[in-house]
Amino acid sequence: MNLKELSHLLGLSQTTVSRALNGYPEVSEATRARVVAAAQKHSYSPNTRAQGLATGLSRCIGHVISVNDSGEMVNPIFGDFMAGAGETYAAHGYDMMVTRVGQADEADIYRNLKARGAVDGLVVHAPRKNDPRLPLLTEIGLPFVVHGRSTGATVDYSWLDVNNRRAFRDAAAYLTSLGHRRIALINGQEELDFAIRRREGFEAALAEAGIAVDPALMARGEMTEDYGHACAARMLDAQDPPTAFLAASIICASGVRRALDERGLRPGADVSIATFDDCLSYFGNGSTVPVFTAMQSSVRAAGATLAQMLLDRIDDPTGPHQQTLWEAEFVIGASTDKVKD
């Protein structure tokens, strides 16, 4: 069923039917009602591609997930982010496209997305320091918003970020206030901007407490459960082990916890763990009392909000950039306690 057939059926022109369906005022309400009913009855929906060709818009948003060439790590927050963003898109009649890309051909992919007119805009995930994507996208004129920020960016851009520096500073300060002085940071990959900020926050808190940073207590890497476990195991088995851990994600933290359990150490009572919590739907932080002391911020909410920011930007590509900083909520759970001596 297409426009032509439908308009024939109704004895109207394609113009009128199109206008009736798209809410233009030049068509009488009686006609509109008749058209809408017929469209419903014959389950007519305009062909996406034809509509896009005619309007010059794709009504589609791109999400480029970069897969680093070495590992084949998929970001665990991806699903929840998409669920949040998808809600917003659906409400505005947008589709959502996902493109996988290695880092080698990164620029090509973005250029291609633009050249093909495949998307009207896109969300930049996992921004790095001096991320080359921001100037690139600005140059080729593809509207975008960034989940996070990029230190050293030479262009202005829209972003939504969590105050990672503050969150980690506060969490580390909380641990020092409990008397901990051997605090380990199990950080994400420090190519990523948020990980840099987290480290800075961590170091600031230590400095404030007059504690020297110990490189042996700072790890960086892909935030898997196994990574959390391996780092914690190594540190706990070393001489002068940490009495507290600061983990980059609840999945990491769960690996840290496993390392404690293996050694007969109880989280909280023996060794403290604090973690960042993205509020993943499949990995909550306990239902009643929080399992982990955590800095939490919903990645799903971030997805929904960023999607809205992007749609706004597509509506008005020359308007001012929206820049939003969320504070993580700090909750105290069962995994931290005064240092044991």
* Residue 56: strand, helix, or coil: coil
Count of Cβ atoms closer than 10 Å to residue 77 Cβ: 21
**Paired tokens of 7:** 């308009």
- From 9, 51, 326, 332, residue interacting with DNA (rule: CB under 7 A): 51
Query: Per CB under 8 A, which of residues 61..100 are in contact with a second copy?
Result: 65, 67, 71-76, 78-80, 82-83, 86-87, 90, 95-100
Question: What 3 state SS string does 308-323 have?
Answer: HHHHHHHHCCCCCCCE
Say which entry of DNA, a second copy, none residue 111 contacts (CB below 5 to 8 A, set by partner kind): a second copy
Q: Please report whether residue 95 would count as binding DNA according to CB under 7 A.
A: no
Dist. CA 197–CA 236, nearest whole Å: 25
- From 47, 68, 112, 130, residue interacting with DNA (rule: CB under 7 A): 47
**Shortest distance, position 93 Cβ to DNA, whole Å:** 11
**Shortest distance, position 124 Cβ to a second copy, whole Å:** 17
Question: What 3 state SS string does 176-201 have?
Answer: HHCCCCCEEEEECCCCEHHHHHHHHH
Comparing CB distances to DNA, the nearer of 55 and 287 is: 55
Comparing CB distances to DNA, the nearer of 208 and 315 is: 315
Contact 301, 328 (CB under 8 A): no
- From 33, 50, 155, 289, residue interacting with a second copy (rule: CB under 8 A): 50
Stretch that binds DNA, among 21-29, 134-142, 263-271, 292-300 (CB under 7 A): 21-29
Q: Please report whether residue 52 would count as binding a second copy according to CB under 8 A.
A: yes
Q: Please report whether residue 23 would count as binding DNA according to CB under 7 A.
A: no
Comparing CB distances to DNA, the nearer of 92 and 321 is: 92
**Paired tokens of 31:** 């006609």
Residue whose pair of structure tokens reads 């973005």 in the numeric block: 110
Q: Binding string, 101-140, against a second copy, x = CB under 8 A?
A: ----------xx--xxxx----------------------
Say which entry of DNA, a second copy, none residue 36 contacts (CB below 5 to 8 A, set by partner kind): none
Return the half-sphere exposure (C-beta side, CA atoms, 13 A cut-off) of residue 62.
25
Q: Please report whether residue 18 would count as binding DNA according to CB under 7 A.
A: yes
Stretch that binds DNA, among 14-22, 191-199, 219-227, 290-298 (CB under 7 A): 14-22
Taking the CA atoms of 5, 9, 13 and 14 in sequence, report the sign of the dihedral they define: negative
Query: Per CB under 8 A, which of residues 230..249 are in contact with a second copy?
Result: 230
- From 31, 224, 322, 324, residue interacting with a second copy (rule: CB under 8 A): 224
Dist. CA 242–CA 255, nearest whole Å: 15
Dist. CA 224–CA 321, nearest whole Å: 34
Say which entry of a second copy, DNA, none residue 153 contacts (CB below 5 to 8 A, set by partner kind): none
Residue whose pair of structure tokens reads 């969490």 in the numeric block: 171
Q: What is the DSSP string of 214-249?
A: -GGGEEES---HHHHHHHHHHHHHSSS--SEEEESS
Q: Please report whether residue 37 would count as binding a second copy according to CB under 8 A.
A: no
Return the half-sphere exposure (C-beta side, CA atoms, 13 A cut-off) of residue 147.
26
Count of Cβ atoms closer than 10 Å to residue 227 Cβ: 23
Q: Please report whether residue 2 would count as binding DNA according to CB under 7 A.
A: yes
In the beta sheet, which residues pair with residue 124?
146
Summarize as ranges the residues that interact with a second copy (CB under 8 A). 1, 43-50, 52-53, 58, 60, 65, 67, 71-76, 78-80, 82-83, 86-87, 90, 95-100, 111-112, 115-118, 222-226, 229-230, 251, 254, 257-258, 261, 280-284, 286-287, 291, 300
Summarize as ranges the residues that interact with DNA (CB under 7 A). 2-4, 11-16, 18-19, 21-22, 26-28, 31, 44, 46-47, 50-51, 53-56
